[in-house]
C-alpha cells in the first residue's frame, strides 16, 4: 500500500496553499515531490507529527543570490523552497524540486538532533538555528556544491546492501573520535561535520564549502572504495593461503593504498571546484589567485606564489611528472595527471612532527597520522586477520608475514598510534618481517586499538624480543591452543590452557579438529575429544608441564624446518636472478 501524507503533513501543505501568491500548480508540484520517495515521505510524516515540520513557503521574489537548496527554520518549522525549483505550469514536480525536498528533509532531522557537549562527554547539546543556517548557507553559496549535494541526495548507490538501494547522501551528522574537517560514512550514507565548525564563532564559509565538496565526492566514490576494500580482504586471504614460507602482503596492501590515494585526490579536486564556485558566485572572474588569497591553507595543496614572478601558479611537479592543469576558468578536471598530482601534493604529505614547509598532516583517531598510515592501519589489520585465520585452519609450516614498509610508506610507530585492532588473540603480538631491509628485519605489531597499549606505539628496545612460549609452538599446537581458548571459560589463564593442551596431547588428542569441548567442572578443566574415550583433565589452580615445555621440545624441529624453508627460498631467488 503506497504511503500517503498523514493528517499532520497535510496540515503543513494546507498552510502552504493558503499563503498569498502560492498557485494551485505549486501545491500540486509540492505534493508530487513529497510522494516521489516513500522513505522520505515516511520521515516527513514523522517530522510533521512531532511538530518539527509545520509548513512550507516559496522564496521571496528577487532574493539575491537565489536559494539553491532552500532553508529550514527551527522555531517555525517551515521549509522555504527556491522559487526556481517550481515549474511555471503543470502538476508534476521538477527533478530539482524533488532533490531540494530530499535535502530539506535531511535538514529537518539534522536541525532536531543533538551533538556531544565538548565540555562534558556525558552530555549532549541541541543543534541551533545558527548551525542550520551555516550548513545550508554553505550549500546555497556554491552552485557547484549545491548541484553535487542534490545529485547525491537523489542518486542511488548501485551496490547498497539495502532494498531499495539508498541514495549516496541520506543524513547529516557530526564527527566524533577522529581529527578531521569532515567525514563521509558510506555505510550510513552520512555526511559528518565538526559541530564547532558549524557555529558562527569558528565557522569559515570557504573552508566548509571545500569540506562538503570533498566529502560528497567520497560519497560518489563509495562503490569503488567498497570494491577496493573487498579486494583487500580477498587478496589478503589469497596471500595467507600460499604454501611458501613467506607470505608477502606488500602488493595487496599497495593496491589498496593506491585506490585510497585516488579517492582522496578526486575528493580534493571536488573540494577545490566547490570553493571556487562560491567565489565565482560573487565574482565570476575569480581564479587561482583569489583562491590563494582567501588565506585558507587547503589552497596551498594546489597553488603557490612563484617567488620569481610573484604570480600564482600550480605547484611544481617532480621531473617527469605533470603539475595540475587548470581549466581557463580556474576549475580542475579529474584527469589521470591531475589525480596523480593531487595524490603527491595531498595524500603524500608527511605526518606531524615535520618542518612547516612540508605542510605536515595530523589526521586519524589521535590526529598524529598521515594518509598512508591512516588507511594502512586497516590494511594491516586485514593482513593480520587473514594470516591468523589461515594458521588456525591449516596448521603446518610456520609462515613469515612480510611487508616492505618503506615502499608502502608505512611506519609501525604511526600504525600503532593510529590503532591496530587484532581481533583474534589480541594479547599476542603479530610477528612480521620488513623486507625493506636486507636481510628482512624481524618486528611485530601489537594490538593498540584499546587496552593497556591504547593508541600508543610499543617499541622494540634493541634486538627483537624473544618469542613467547606460545609463539614458539608449532602451528598445529597454536591452533589447538586457540581452539581451547574458544571453548574454555574466558577467565582461565594462558598457563592453565597451556597445561590443558599438554595433557590433551598426552591423552592422544593431537589436532584442533579433535577437540570437542573444554569445560570446567569443580576445580578441573576437562578437554573432551571428538573420539569417544579420548579426554584429559587438569587442576585449574595446579601446576604441571604446559606451553614452555611443549615449546622447548619443539624448538629443534622448528629450527630445522625454518632452515629448510630459507634454503628453498634462496634457491628460488637464485634461479630467478639467473633468468
Q: What is the pLDDT of residue 551?
A: 66
Query: Which comes out higher in pLDDT, residue 164 or 334?
Result: 334
What CA–CA distance (Å, rounded) separates 154 from 230? 26
Q: What is the mean pLDDT of residues 293-306?
A: 96
Q: What residues does each domain of the chain span?
A: 1-112, 371-459, 475-552
Cβ neighbours, 10 Å, residue 33? 25
Q: What is the mean pLDDT of residues 46-62?
A: 94
Q: What is the pLDDT of residue 552?
A: 66
Q: What is the DSSP letter of 60?
A: P
CA count, 13 A, side-chain hemisphere, 144: 22
Residue 213, CA distances (Å) to 10, 189, 271, 275, 571 in order: 35, 15, 4, 8, 54
Q: What is the mean pLDDT of residues 524-540?
A: 83
Q: What percent of the chain has pLDDT over 70?
A: 91
- Residues 259-272: pLDDT tens digits? 999 999 999 999 99
Q: What is the mean pLDDT of residues 191-210?
A: 95
- Residues 2-11: pLDDT tens digits? 789 999 999 9
Using DSSP, state whether 472 is helix, strand or coil: helix
- Residues 279-295: pLDDT tens digits? 999 999 999 999 999 99
Using DSSP, state whether 88 is helix, strand or coil: coil
Provide the b/e sequence for 536-547 (b: ≥16 CB within 10 Å): bbbebeeeebbb
- Residues 376-405: pLDDT tens digits? 999 999 999 999 998 888 765 678 999 999
Please report which helix (H) or strand (E) contains residue 385, including its range. Answer: helix 371-393
Q: What percent of the chain has pLDDT over 90?
A: 67
Q: Cα 507 to the chain's mean position, in Å?
A: 48
pLDDT tier at 579, thresholds 50, 70, 90: very low
Three cell numbers at 186? 558510506
Q: What is the mean pLDDT of residues 526-530?
A: 86
- Residues 318-376: pLDDT tens digits? 999 999 999 999 999 999 999 999 999 999 999 887 778 788 888 888 788 899 999 99
Helices and strands in the chain: count of H runs, count of E runs: 16, 17
Using DSSP, state whether 459 is helix, strand or coil: coil
pLDDT tier at 486, thresholds 50, 70, 90: confident
pLDDT tier at 141, thresholds 50, 70, 90: very high
Lowest mean pLDDT among 251-255, 303-307, 316-320, 529-533: 529-533
Q: What is the DSSP letter of 343?
A: I
Q: Indicate whether 469 pLDDT > 80.
A: no
Q: What is the mean pLDDT of residues 483-501?
A: 81
Q: What is the mean pLDDT of residues 199-228?
A: 96
pLDDT tier at 576, thresholds 50, 70, 90: very low
H helices of 410-546, in order, are 412-418, 469-472, 475-487, 494-506
Using DSSP, state whether 429 is helix, strand or coil: coil
Q: What is the pLDDT of residue 330?
A: 98
Q: Indicate whether 567 pLDDT > 50.
A: no
Q: What is the pLDDT of residue 106?
A: 97
Phi-psi label, residue 564: left if phi above 0, alpha if psi -120 to 50, beta otherwise: alpha
pLDDT tier at 547, thresholds 50, 70, 90: low
Per DSSP bridges, beta strands 515-521 and 524-529 are antiparallel
Q: Indicate whether 494 pLDDT > 80.
A: no
pLDDT tier at 133, thresholds 50, 70, 90: very high
Q: Residue length, the chain?
A: 579
Amino acid at each position: 500500500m503506497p504511503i500517503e501524507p498523514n493528517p499532520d503533513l497535510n496540515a503543513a501543505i494546507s498552510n502552504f496553499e493558503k499563503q498569498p501568491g502560492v498557485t494551485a500548480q505549486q501545491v500540486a508540484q509540492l505534493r508530487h515531490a513529497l510522494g516521489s520517495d516513500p522513505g522520505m515521505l515516511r520521515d516527513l510524516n514523522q517530522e510533521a507529527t512531532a511538530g518539527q515540520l509545520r509548513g512550507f513557503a516559496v522564496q521571496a521574489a528577487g532574493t539575491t543570490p537565489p536559494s539553491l537548496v532552500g532553508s529550514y527554520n527551527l522555531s517555525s518549522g517551515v521549509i522555504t523552497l527556491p522559487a526556481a525549483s517550481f515549474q511555471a505550469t503543470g502538476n508534476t514536480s521538477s527533478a530539482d524540486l524533488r532533490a531540494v525536498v530530499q535535502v530539506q528533509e535531511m535538514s529537518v532531522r539534522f536541525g532536531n538532533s543533538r551533538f556531544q557537549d565538548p565540555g562534558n562527554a556525558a552530555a549532549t547539546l541541541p543543534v541551533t538555528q545558527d548551525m542550520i543556517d551555516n550548513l545550508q548557507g554553505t550549500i546555497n553559496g556554491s552552485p557547484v556544491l549545491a548541484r553535487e549535494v542534490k545529485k547525491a541526495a537523489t542518486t542511488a548507490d548501485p551496490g547498497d546492501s539495502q532494498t531499495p538501494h539508498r541514495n549516496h547522501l541520506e543524513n547529516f551528522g557530526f564527527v566524533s573520535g577522529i581529527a578531521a574537517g569532515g567525514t563521509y560514512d558510506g555505510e550510513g550514507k552520512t555526511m559528518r561535520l565538526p559541530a564547532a565548525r558549524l557555529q558562527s564563532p569558528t565557522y569559515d564559509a570557504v573552508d566548509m564549502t571545500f569540506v562538503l565538496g570533498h566529502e560528497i565526492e567520497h560519497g560518489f566514490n563509495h562503490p569503488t572504495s567498497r570494491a577496493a576494500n573487498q579486494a583487500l580482504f580477498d587478496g589478503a586471504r589469497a596471500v595467507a593461503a600460499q604454501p611458501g614460507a613467506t607470505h608477502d602482503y606488500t602488493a595487496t596492501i599497495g593496491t589498496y593504498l593506491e585506490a585510497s590515494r585516488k579517492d582522496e585526490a578526486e575528493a580534493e579536486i571536488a573540494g577545490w571546484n566547490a570553493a571556487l564556485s562560491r567565489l565565482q558566485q560573487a565574482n565570476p572572474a575569480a581564479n587561482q589567485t583569489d583562491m590563494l588569497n582567501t588565506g585558507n591553507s587547503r589552497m596551498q595543496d594546489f597553488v603557490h606564489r612563484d617567488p620569481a614572478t610573484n604570480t600564482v601558479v600550480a605547484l611544481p611537479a617532480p621531473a617527469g611528472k605533470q603539475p595540475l592543469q587548470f581549466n581557463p576558468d580556474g576549475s580542475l578536471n579529474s584527469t589521470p595527471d591531475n589525480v596523480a598530482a593531487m595524490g603527491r601534493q595531498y595524500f603524500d604529505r608527511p605526518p606531524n612532527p615535520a618542518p612547516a614547509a612540508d605542510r605536515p598532516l595530523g589526521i586519524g583517531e589521535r590526529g598524529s597520522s598521515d594518509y598512508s598510515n591512516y588507511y594502512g592501519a586497516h590494511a594491516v589489520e586485514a593482513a593480520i586477520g587473514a594470516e591468523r585465520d589461515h594458521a588456525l585452519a591449516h596448521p603446518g609450516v610456520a609462515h613469515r608475514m612480510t611487508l616492505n614498509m618503506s615502499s608502502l610508506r608505512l611506519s609501525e610507530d604511526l600504525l600503532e598510534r593510529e590503532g591496530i585492532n587484532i581481533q583474534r588473540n589480541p594479547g599476542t603480538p603479530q610477528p612480521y618481517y620488513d623486507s625493506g631491509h636486507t636481510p628482512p628485519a624481524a618486528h611485530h605489531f601489537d594490538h593498540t586499538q584499546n587496552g593497556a597499549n591504547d593508541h600508543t606505539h610499543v617499541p622494540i628496545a634493541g634486538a627483537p624480543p624473544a618469542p613467547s612460549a606460545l609463539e614458539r609452538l608449532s602451528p598445529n599446537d597454536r591452533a589447538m591452543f586457540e581452539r581451547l581458548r574458544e571453548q574454555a571459560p574466558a577467565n582461565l589463564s594462558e598457563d592453565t590452557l597451556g597445561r590443558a593442551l599438554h595433557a590433551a596431547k598426552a591423552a592422544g588428542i593431537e589436532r584442533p579438529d579433535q577437540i570437542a569441548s573444554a569445560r570446567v567442572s569443580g576445580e578441573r578443566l576437562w578437554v573432551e575429544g571428538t573420539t569417544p574415550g579420548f579426554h584429559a583433565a587438569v587442576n585449574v589452580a595446579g601446576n604441571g608441564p604446559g606451553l614452555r615445555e611443549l615449546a622447548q621440545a619443539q624448538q629443534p624441529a622448528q629450527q630445522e624446518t625454518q632452515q629448510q624453508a630459507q634454503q628453498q627460498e634462496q634457491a628460488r631467488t637464485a634461479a630467478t636472478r639467473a633468468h
